[in-house]
Chain A
Amino acid sequence: MVRRRTRGQSVTDIDMTPMIDMTFQLIAFFMFVVNFSEAEQDDRIQLPSSQLAKPAETPFEVPITLQLTSSGSLVYAGELFEVASLGTVLEREKTVILDTGKEPADATIIVRADGRSPTGEVQEIIRICQEKGFEKFALRAKYDEGG
């Protein structure tokens, strides 16, 4: 009686080792690829690609990301604007920068413009930013390995 019960128990005992091995491998993989960076990206924008657009090693000191869709609307902090109303947005941003003891010239305007958007709109954004005292711009492009 006792013998039979012990034998039955040993049969139902599943070997967990391969599953735990796999699970730890998966965890390790996801830990390596996880990215907590707050990079602003938007699915509505298809960036132009370039072989020279290597990802920057050091992040900008004061980054302000302005995104331009192909239809000519501006996406800033997740909200949709018209390019004409950029001035008020930047004015607010400028006050924040001045409050932290920095100058607008220290900030970098990251322009993530869609490849199909008209150049005139991009230049208009740059012009409005210049009027508010910003002078460093970074034109963002998708890094293209193949060329």
Chain B
Amino acid sequence: MADADTRPARQRLADKIDINMTPMIDIVFQLLAFFIMTLKIVQPEGDFDVRMPLGAAAAAAPDEEQIPPIRIRLTAGETGLGGIEMNGTPVASFEELQELVIALVGLDSGPNSIADKTEVELDCDEQLPYEYVVNAISAVSGTVQDGQIIELVKKIKFAPPRDNP
């Protein structure tokens, strides 16, 4: 490097290879623009699976091991939800409904557990806003404890719709 300093400035500059950056930057900006334009912010969504073949409820033979379904009645009120009933007993909130379901089926949801065999039948007023149905399904199908989902009743079905009085 010592002799490099003695060389004239022009010769020193010629040693440095100048890369032409323009095409690379062009491509890079094109890529950037493409990814910005295709960006679609998708909210995370999940599903509650409901299996309801037509007429299965009537066709199914009464099974001795079958636990009678938990009937949850949701009525429509002036502002939305009128009331919740579980097997005919009024329930104050969806939290209380969940506690009652846990008390009934327990927290074990493995194969052949009570929770696995239990079925929930939702009986809803026609005019009831749908979000309360989802709240009820959430309350019976699982609970979140320390960030872990504990599954409760997985079999959910709907009773035939009722007309509002």
Contacts and interface: CB of A to CB of B under 8 A. Distances in A.
A26 B134 contact: no
A3 interface: yes
A30 B39 contact: yes
A141 B21 CA distance: 49
A95 interface: no
B35 A115 contact: no
B126 A119 contact: yes
Main secondary structure on B side of the interface with A: mixed
A138 to B, nearest CB: 4
B28 A139 contact: no
B45 A142 contact: yes
B43 interface: yes
Interface in B124-156: 124-135, 137-138, 141-142, 144, 149
A53 B36 CA distance: 29
Contact of B54 (A51, A113, A131): A131
Given A55-B44, A56-B47, A143-B45, 13 more contacts: A24-B28, A31-B35, A34-B39, A47-B45, A50-B134, A52-B46, A53-B48, A113-B130, A119-B128, A122-B130, A123-B124, A137-B50, A142-B45
Q: When A and B form their complex, which 3 residue pairs have the shortest distance between CB atoms, in order from nearest? A: A120-B126, A53-B46, A30-B35
24 contacts: A3-B9, A20-B21, A20-B28, A27-B28, A27-B32, A39-B45, A41-B45, A49-B134, A51-B144, A52-B144, A52-B149, A55-B46, A56-B47, A68-B130, A116-B131, A119-B128, A119-B129, A123-B161, A130-B54, A139-B50, A140-B47, A143-B43, A143-B44, A143-B45
